[in-house]
């Protein structure tokens, strides 16, 4: 058999390079690619190309750091596991809270992205787009409540759909790129590049998922590094191609088109491009929402088990049972988020920026843990990745108050809970100490 299905260290069959790279693509590629080119173009114009390029370049040390951490300390706990090893349970709790807080913001943003595509295809207005997005959220909550959450195979399928869609879009649109579309290059000044980078981080928050898969690789060290490198190469080609054709073909309207991929496909194939683009957007959006809700609900229940969150609020993990109380908590958070969206106070752009700020904070904790845990060249790579993430967080501006507030509450709650003698540290930290 090929390397894609070799036996693991204990004789079990583990992930190989091919399957692992596809799983990573499923984590990094998502519905953000459907709308983010517009948000970036609105922030920086053609200069958003620099934001794409900088994030892709900076993604190399970030991805390499998580691959090194996963290969050296393979565990399904991800960033929280590394934070517990490098620092303490309070930092791990803060990272977990940041990710959990990003879930209702991120899934609401994803739902709106899918809604915009359906509305654009049908010629409907923003109210219809919001309704479709909320409908996708409601359907995903219902499925998760009965245990029919998205599996890894569905994630792989949706990643394959998005890769195909992006390849076709870029290929058929390259011939229509016009040089004059890139002038003026920086209509909003060079600071717009930094603003665009904070928006685009939504599309690059996913490399930490490699650490969650690390324990499933047949060869965590070599296999995870190769899978990450392959996924990074594919992401680089697809995102750069997408940004070039979006700006080069749509020109000044690129920053105002809610469904750029749909527009590009319609220009190339006429109305025949509407159905596949819309169907792909719905599948990708629903798959991403389902996966995030399934993971977020289980994280919330795990935090309740470890008393990092109040058990009355999120319950606790129990074998064979769905974390419905944690899911209900996330549903309540989504209702809180959608209220200002329905009132016109919070936009899709604001949701994406807030989610990016939280996920950037999570990723920074992971790379700082790499500085503490790794050695030699790998430590230097982690330091470079950390410096980049600090820059991203600086450009988040006032939105830094969000991870700051969530982190303070998490640390204060962790300190209060740690006074009880029966309060365990995170399960991943406990397992490490037992070894």
CATH number at residue 269: 1.20.1740.10
Comparing 78-82, 137-141, 158-162, 407-411, the range with the smallest average pLDDT is: 158-162
Model confidence at 23: pLDDT above 60: yes
Q: CA nearest 296: which of 332, 320, 326?
A: 326
| 3-state DSSP assignment of residue 50 | helix
Number of H helices, E strands in the chain: 18, 0
DSSP string for 333-392: HHHHHHHHHHTTSS-HHHHHHHHHHHHHHHHHHHHHHHHHH--HHHHHHHHHHHHHHHHH
Is the model more confident about 401 or about 159?
401
Residue 423 lies in a domain: no
Q: In the prediction, which pLDDT does 332 show?
A: 92
Q: Is the Cβ–Cβ distance between 42 and 348 less than 8 Å? A: no
What CA–CA distance (Å, rounded) separates 203 from 198? 10
Within a domain: 3: no
- Torsion, CA 280, CA 282, CA 283, CA 285, rounded to 10: 110
* Residue 71 counted as domain residue: yes
At residue 402, the pLDDT reads 93
Task: Specify the pTM.
Answer: 0.78
Q: Mean pLDDT across the stretch 296-310? A: 79
Find out whether 61 and 364 touch, Cβ atoms under 8 Å: no
**pLDDT-wise least confident of 27-36, 135-144, 271-280, 390-399:** 27-36
Q: Decide: 308 and 145 in contact? Cβ < 8 Å.
A: no
Mean pLDDT for the chain?
Answer: 80
2 lies in some domain: no
CA angle, corner 137, sides to 136 and 138, nearest 5?
Answer: 95
Is 211 part of a structural domain of the chain? yes
323 prior amide bond cis, ω within 30: no
Identify the three-state secondary structure at position 147.
coil
Q: pLDDT tens digits, residue range 72-111?
A: 887 666 788 889 899 988 888 899 899 889 999 989 988 8
pLDDT of residue 114: 87
In a domain, 429, yes or no: no
Dump pLDDT digits (tens) for 280-292: 788 878 877 877 7
Residue-number span of the structural domain to which 95 is assigned: 13-415
CA–CA distance, 304 with 314 (Å, rounded to integer): 6
pLDDT(3) > 50? no
Tens digits of residue pLDDT in 343-368: 888 888 889 889 989 999 999 999 99
Residue 420: inside a domain, yes or no? no
State residue 15 phi and psi, 5-degree precision.
Answer: -65, 140
Cross-strand bridge partners of residue 15:
217
Q: What are phi and psi of 13, to 5 degrees?
A: -85, 130
Q: Which helix (H) or strand (E) holds 285?
A: helix 274-305
In-domain check, residue 431? no
How many domains does the chain contain in total? 1
- The answer to whether residues 366 and 79 touch, using CB atoms and an 8 Å cutoff, is yes
DSSP-based three-state secondary structure for 183: coil
Of residues 192 and 156, which shows the higher confidence score?
192
Say if residue 386's pLDDT is above 90.
yes
């Amino acid at each position: 058999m090929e390397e894609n299905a070799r036996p693991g260290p204990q004789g079990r069959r583990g992930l190989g390079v091919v399957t692992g790279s596809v799983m990573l693509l499923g984590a990094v590629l998502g519905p953000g690619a459907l709308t983010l080119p517009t948000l970036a173009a609105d922030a920086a114009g053609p200069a958003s190309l620099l934001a794409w390029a900088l994030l892709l370049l900076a993604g190399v040390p970030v991805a390499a750091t998580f691959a090194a951490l996963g290969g050296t300390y393979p565990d399904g706990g991800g960033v929280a596991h590394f934070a517990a090893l490098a620092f303490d349970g309070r930092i791990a709790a803060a990272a977990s809270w940041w990710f959990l807080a990003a879930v209702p913001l991120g899934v609401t943003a994803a739902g709106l992205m899918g809604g915009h595509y359906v509305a654009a295809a049908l010629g409907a207005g923003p109210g219809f787009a919001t309704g479709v997005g909320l409908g996708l959220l409601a359907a995903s909550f219902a499925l998760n409540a009965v245990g029919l959450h998205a599996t890894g195979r569905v994630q792989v399928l949706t990643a394959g759909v998005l890769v195909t869609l992006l390849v076709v879009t870029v290929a058929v649109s390259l011939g229509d790129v016009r040089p004059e579309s890139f002038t003026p290059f920086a209509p909003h000044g060079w600071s717009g590049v930094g603003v665009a980078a904070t928006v685009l981080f939504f599309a690059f928050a996913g490399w930490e998922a490699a650490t969650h898969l690390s324990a499933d690789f047949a060869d965590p060290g070599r296999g995870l590094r190769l899978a990450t490198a392959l996924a990074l190469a594919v992401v680089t080609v697809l995102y750069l191609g997408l940004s070039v054709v979006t700006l080069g073909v749509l020109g000044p309207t690129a920053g105002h088109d809610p469904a750029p991929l749909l527009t590009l496909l319609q220009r190339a194939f006429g109305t025949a491009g509407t159905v596949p683009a819309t169907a792909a957007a719905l599948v990708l959006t629903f798959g991403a929402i389902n996966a995030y809700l399934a993971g977020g609900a289980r994280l919330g229940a795990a935090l309740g088990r470890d008393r990092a969150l109040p058990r009355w609020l999120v319950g606790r993990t129990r074998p064979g049972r769905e974390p419905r109380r944690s899911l209900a908590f996330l549903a309540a958070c989504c209702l809180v988020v959608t209220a200002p969206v329905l009132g016109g106070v919070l936009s899709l752009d604001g949701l994406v920026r807030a989610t990016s700020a939280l996920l950037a904070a999570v990723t920074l904790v992971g790379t700082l843990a790499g500085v503490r845990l790794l050695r030699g060249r790998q430590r230097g790579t982690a330091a470079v990745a950390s410096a980049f993430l600090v820059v991203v967080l600086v450009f988040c501006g006032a939105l830094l108050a969000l991870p700051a507030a969530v982190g303070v509450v998490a640390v204060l709650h962790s300190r209060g809970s740690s006074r009880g003698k029966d309060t365990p540290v995170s399960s991943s930290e406990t397992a490490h100490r037992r070894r």
